[in-house]
């Protein structure tokens, strides 16, 4: 089975679920003796203890994400409290979404064991879930950061979804897809094992096939800094995210726009563009 290179689901793909594994507790001597997994790219993403390029970055706590012309940023939340009818009352940030033109890249960082990476295992589990639960297809590829996964999944084309699409996008959908109520969609999964952390990116949209848009997202991914922290954490536990001050403070700089009101369970706080 083979399909084309690297389009955008209604919801970002889920990251790996926390596993019931023994919490890692390491002494300074153990940490110094252990060798962290190496990034095949020979450069970033970077650990906060590395010597990394000085760039303008947004501080999301465990993720320091570089900014560049044309980029938009969004924080995805999951509910931590709901009312009697199941409506969210409170939530926590679980992912950073980087948007560029018709492309998006979801970022999540997780704790990982000191002595081994988890990307090989996560990749196999993701492929199995896509094949068995989403009735999709997967293909292993080699990318700029090492092994990655390309998935083709059926995306629903309900009347609600079609109504929200821009007219020019809807006109490009083949009639048979609209009639059958779904269309094939490509999603690219990228993972990097670092020292006691794992970084996952899920790429959707035009960057799957558009090299120019992908290059912008690749440069962002390559220059991310991960702040693991010293606290012991079970492998696969999501590293804590926080909202950058740029999201909560009104900016007087006309070159940076901010959404002043938001529903975190619909779009999340967002900087629509950084130039």
pLDDT per residue over 126-157, tens digit each?
999 999 998 899 999 999 999 999 999 988 88
Q: pLDDT grade, residue 86 (50/70/90)?
A: confident
pLDDT tens, residue by residue, 12-51: 344 444 333 433 333 333 443 344 455 444 589 999 999 9
**Band of pLDDT at residue 120, cut at 50, 70 and 90:** very high
**Residue 275 pLDDT grade (very low, low, confident, very high; cuts 50, 70, 90):** very low
Residue 249: predicted pLDDT = 60
Using the predicted structure, report yes or no on whether residue 53 has a pLDDT greater than 80.
yes
- At 163 the pLDDT is 79
Mean of per-residue pLDDT scores for the chain: 78
> What is the end-to-end Cα distance of the chain in Å, rounded?
41
Tell me how far apart the alpha carbons of residues 76 and 127 are, in angstroms, rounded to a whole number: 23
Confidence (pLDDT) at 30: 41
Decide: residue 22, CB within 10 A, 0-12 exposed, 13-18 middle, 19+ buried: exposed
2-11, 85-94, 204-213, range with the lowest pLDDT: 2-11
pLDDT at 119 over 70: yes
Averaged pLDDT, 118-122: 96
Residue 248 is predicted with a pLDDT of: 67
User: In the prediction, which pLDDT does 42 show?
Assistant: 53
88: β partners: 82
- pLDDT confidence tier of residue 114, bands split at 50, 70 and 90: confident
Q: If DSSP states are collapsed to H, E and C, what string results for 230-256?
A: CCCCCCCCECCECCCHHHHCCCCCCCE
pLDDT in tens, 159-189: 887 777 767 667 777 887 777 787 888 999 9
What is the percent of the chain with per-residue pLDDT over 90, rounded to a whole number? 52
Specify the pTM.
Answer: 0.74
């Amino acid at each position: 089975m083979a399909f084309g290179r690297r389009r955008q689901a209604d919801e970002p793909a889920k990251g790996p679920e926390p596993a019931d594994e023994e919490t890692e507790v390491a002494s300074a001597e153990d940490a110094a003796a252990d060798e962290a997994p190496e990034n095949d790219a020979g450069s970033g993403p970077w650990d906060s203890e590395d010597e990394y390029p000085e760039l303008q970055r947004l501080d999301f706590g465990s993720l320091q994400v570089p900014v560049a012309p044309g980029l938009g940023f969004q924080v995805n939340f999951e509910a931590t409290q709901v009312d009697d009818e199941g409506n969210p009352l409170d939530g926590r940030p679980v992912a950073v979404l980087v948007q560029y033109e018709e492309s998006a890249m979801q970022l999540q960082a997780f704790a990982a064991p000191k002595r081994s990476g988890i990307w090989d295992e996560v990749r196999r589990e993701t492929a199995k879930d896509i094949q068995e639960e989403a009735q999709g297809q997967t293909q292993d590829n080699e990318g700029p950061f090492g092994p990655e996964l390309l998935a083709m999944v059926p995306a629903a084309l309900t009347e609600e979804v079609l109504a929200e699409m821009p007219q020019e996008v809807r006109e490009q959908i083949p009639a048979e897809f609209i009639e059958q109520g779904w269309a094939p969609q490509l999603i690219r999964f990228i993972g990097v094992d670092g020292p006691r952390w794992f970084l996952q990116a899920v790429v959707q949209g035009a960057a799957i096939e558009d090299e120019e848009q992908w290059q912008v997202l690749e440069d962002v991914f390559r220059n991310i800094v991960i702040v693991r922290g010293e606290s012991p954490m079970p492998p696969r536990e999501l590293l804590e995210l926080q909202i950058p001050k740029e999201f909560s403070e009104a900016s007087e700089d006309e070159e940076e726009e901010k959404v002043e009101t938001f529903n975190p369970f619909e779009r999340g706080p967002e900087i629509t563009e950084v130039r």
